[in-house]
Structure formats: structure tokens, C-alpha cells
Chain A
Amino acid sequence: MTMADLKSEVKRLPLHRFYEQAGARFIQFAGWEVPVYFTSIIDEHDAVRKNVGLFDISHMGEFRVRGKEARKFLDWLVTNKVSKLTPLKAVYSPMLNEQAGIIDDLIVYEISEEHFLVIVNAGNVAVDFAWMKSKAPAGVEVINLSPERGIQAVQGPNSSKVIEKVFGTKAAGISSFTILPVPFEGREVIVSRTGYTGEDGFEIFYDCGIAEPLYLALKKAGESLGMKPIGFGARDTLRLEARLLLHGHDMNATITPLECGLTWTIDFEKKDFIGKARLDREKQSGVVRKLVGFEMVDRGLAREHYKVCSKGKEIGEVTSGSFAPSLKKNIGLALIQSDFAKEGNEIEIMIRDQAQKAKIVKTPFYKKGQ
């Protein structure tokens, strides 16, 4: 393979050149070349916590699920209550395999009675699509819209002011996990009050054909407020402080939602969903491993895959770790043996062959308005 071939496999955001012009530094994430920061991760993090920031998250996947049996299918496909959705409402849910491992975590949006949108993680688009196609009954259509759809996220306490300027008061006033289709440049875009930062915020789903005018309109609306462009570095620190899990890191196809603290997303009352038999058994027997939040007591920074020990004995592994800009502490998530997963417990993180003290703390590390 030549270098040129290698390069062509990394996808670029439709608005890549705008971010280049804005001085972004890029990294590769889930097969995409995305901005990691524009000015500084910490400055961008603070902008979202205190004011408002704009993120391009068009790397994420988007599927359309349609048909008479679409609701029934989705309700069986994922763990949360799709059956209780009403038009223009959304629900977060893991999607499990038969062993109750998390194939992906996603959000299901109800457009109308027989029409749903599903937003999935960029790195899982192919796997999710194949899984959903293989499970969908005749008459339920699953379409991968990802290549022609984009998403901009406006996040932070002042996000509704930006939305109001571009889409009007009705869109700015929708409640959490609600969507509103609105016209823009002769097309329909969907405004959703969702996010991945632990702050109030919106996500806008649109056809890539209007990516540029939409971006410019949002940018202009945010100008007087001092809205900042935000890279993936701050996206990661924001979500970690709010204990929002990242698939492929804090959870994966071998970790169950009971292990990683997503019990609230499981509707055990449902007659059936994929992975339910296994989860029912695990609920009875209790989990062997548990995802916990910790903060460093010693000075070091914990990073993904670092070993976690208790009195010298290995008990698990770090799944995410970073400096937390809002807390000015070094924090992380770790999947450890559940016997040790008690708040206040002291653990050791193995950092470059040295045991550094940390303690298990309550999560989320950060709560809105803190």
C-alpha cells in the first residue's frame, strides 16, 4: 500500500478547510481526521462550561429506521424503552449482543409513528449497520444516511441563545431529549436538545449540502456571545467529567451495561430484548467487574489501559483518564473487580511501573451548575 492509499482511508469532515483556516490541530479519531483543539483544550473546555462552544461531530453515524414494525423492532434491538417514545422525543440506549456485551451506545429519535433516526458512534457504523440489517424483520427498512448527513453541536449554558438566533424561540425552548424539525435554506434540519458535555446544549442534524451556510449562520449567531470552536480534546474532558462513557474505551462488546453503571438504561420489564436472558442472570448473581470513577491522590495522570491494583494485587484497568479542567484534578474511570468498587476505597494506578495512589469517588465528577 502506498502512502496515498493510506491517506484516502482517513475521512475528512465536509468543513475541514474551515477548521484548517481557523488554526485547528488535527488528530485521527475513529477513522476520521478531526480537530483536537483550536487554541487550547483547557480554554475550549472552560468556554463550554461557562459560555458556549461549537463542535462539528459529523463523523457520527446516522441511520433511518422506518416501517410499520419499526418501533417494535427497535424496542427489541436496544435495552431502553423505545415503546414509550412519542413523536419528537429521544432516548439513549445501549445495543447489546446475545452475551449482553455493548455493541454500541446510541440515541433513538422518533420522527413520527413509523419513522426513527438512530445516531451511533463513528467507529461502529459498519458493525452497527450490519447488525441492525441482520436483525430487522421484513418490512422494516434500515438505511445508512451517515455519508450525506452532518451534525453540529452547540453546547454550554448560553447555547439556547445561539439556537434562538438561528432557528427561533420555539427551537430554543424544546426540552431535554426532544427534537424539532425546522426549515433552513429550503431544507429541513432537526434541532435536538442533547449533547455529550454535561452542560445544556443542542445538536443539529442536517444534509451535508447545507453544511456551509448552516455553519456560517451558527458562527455568526455566536459571535457576539464569544462562542468558541471546540475540538475533540475538550469533548473528551467534558464528557469524562460528566461520566458520559465512550464506547470502545469505557465499554465494549465484552462489557455489560450492569458492569459499567448503565442499569438505568435497561427496561427489565420488557418482555424481551437482545441480551436480556444474560442480563437477567447477571442481575441475579451480581456483577464481577464494575466501572468506577477515581481521582488521583498522588501527582500522576492515569491513562487508558494502565493497571489498577489494591495493596499490590492487580484488580483491573483504567478505561479513561485525564486532567479534569473544571476540577483541577486528575481523574479517570476504571473497570475493576466489584469487591473493591467502594466509594472512598484507596487504589493504586500503575504509572510507568510505579504505584501511584488514587481513591474511588462518587460520579459524575462534575455536575451542571457546580
Chain B
Amino acid sequence: MNFPSNLKYTKSHEWGRQDGAKIVVGITEYAQHELSDVVYVELPKIGQEVKQGVACCIVESVKAAFDIYAPISGKIVEINKKLESDPALINRDPYGDGWFFAITPSNVNELNNLMPAAGYEEMLAQGAK
């Protein structure tokens, strides 16, 4: 599995990518594989305040619903509308067209709470034992 090194990762399998003043958010390849076919996404609203580690979005696979947690506190400034008509983008391209939303962080230092790719991979390897 691929875990790009330019991303930061959460324990709950989201990734964040710094893009100028905002943080773009999605879920990892591991997460999309665990979910299997994503058939529905309920995105947060633009302007919504989110808190690090708190659920702010829902994805549903054929089988069940799952929460997506904000990797950093701040305000939602963009959402990926394409996911509403084509939620399988999350399965096909989790680090690209399958992004969920972008946040302008209220405290960039919170990024330090996230893991680098190597740390995330190590966590997965531990869990698999």
C-alpha cells in the first residue's frame, strides 16, 4: 500500500496535506480498502467549525456508515462536491480526486499531533500483529 510522505496521518486513518494556508483532507488507502465500495458521502458545510479528532463527515460503504474525523481544528473552506455524484472516487484515488474537504486551521501547531507516513505505517503494522 502507498502512504505518500508529503502527507500527515491520524490514528483514525485520515490524511492532511498542507496547501498554502489550508489543509486538504482525505482518507488513506488502508481506510478505503477497509471500507470497500463507498456509496455515499455526507460532507461538512462550508464555513462549519471543526475540531481536531471530532467527527465532521460521514461515509457509507455498501455495508455500514463510518465517521470521518477532522485532523485539525479550524473552518471548512472547501468541499469536494464531486464525491456526491461519484463517491467511488474515494476508492479509486484516495490521495487525489477522492479528497474530502479543506480546512483553514485555527492553530497550525496541531499538525504536530499527526503522524508522518513512517509512523502511520508502523501503527498499521502493529495493529496487524
Contacts and interface: CB of A to CB of B under 8 A. Distances in A.
A108 B84 CA distance: 46
Between A42, A325, A330, A352, the greatest number of chain B beta carbons within 10 A of the residue's beta carbon is seen for A42
Given A41-B63, A42-B62, A301 B40 contact: yes
Interface in B32-61: 34, 36-37, 39-40, 42, 58, 60-61
Nearest to A352: B58
Interface residues of A, number: 17
Interface in A111-155: none
B62 A41 contact: yes
Contacts of A233: 36, 62-63
A323 B39 contact: yes
Contact of B37 (A42, A299, A301): A42
Contact of A299 (B34, B36, B40): B40
A40 B40 contact: no
A233 B42 CA distance: 22
Interface string A238-278: 00000000000000000000000000000000000000000
Nearest to A37: B36
B58 A25 contact: no
Given A42-B62, A233-B63, A323-B62, A300 B40 contact: yes
Interface in A297-339: 299-301, 303, 322-323, 325, 330
B124 interface: no
Given A303-B65, A322-B62, A325-B62, A41 B36 contact: yes
A97 interface: no
A42 B38 CA distance: 10
B102 to A, nearest CB: 22
A102 interface: no
A156 B62 CA distance: 21
A37 B63 CA distance: 10
Q: Main secondary structure on chain A at its contact with chain B? A: mixed
Interface residues of B, number: 14
A209 to B, nearest CB: 33
A37 B62 CA distance: 11
Contacts, number: 39
Nearest to A328: B39
Contacts of A322: 62-63
Contact of A40 (B37, B42, B58, B65): B37
Given A233-B63, A322-B62, A323-B62, A40 B36 contact: yes
Contacts of B61: 41
A102 B60 CA distance: 31
Interface string A9-45: 0000000000000000100000000001100111000
A194 interface: no
Contacts of A37: 36
A340 B126 CA distance: 53
A76 B79 CA distance: 61
A237 interface: yes
Contacts of B39: 301, 323, 330
A237 B84 contact: no
Contacts of B58: 352
Nearest to B61: A41
Interface in A43-60: none
Interface in B42-92: 42, 58, 60-65, 84
Between A233, A237, A325, the greatest number of chain B beta carbons within 10 A of the residue's beta carbon is seen for A233
Contacts of B63: 36, 41, 233, 322
Contact of A323 (B34, B40, B42, B84): B40
Contacts of A330: 39-40
A-B pairs with the 5 shortest C-beta distances?
Answer: A323-B39, A41-B62, A42-B37, A301-B60, A301-B40
6 contacts: A25-B34, A36-B63, A301-B39, A303-B65, A323-B37, A323-B60
Interface of B: 34, 36-37, 39-40, 42, 58, 60-65, 84
Interface of A: 25, 36-37, 40-42, 233, 237, 299-301, 303, 322-323, 325, 330, 352
Given A233-B36, A300-B42, A301-B60, 10 more contacts: A37-B36, A40-B37, A41-B37, A233-B62, A299-B84, A301-B39, A301-B40, A323-B37, A323-B62, A325-B62
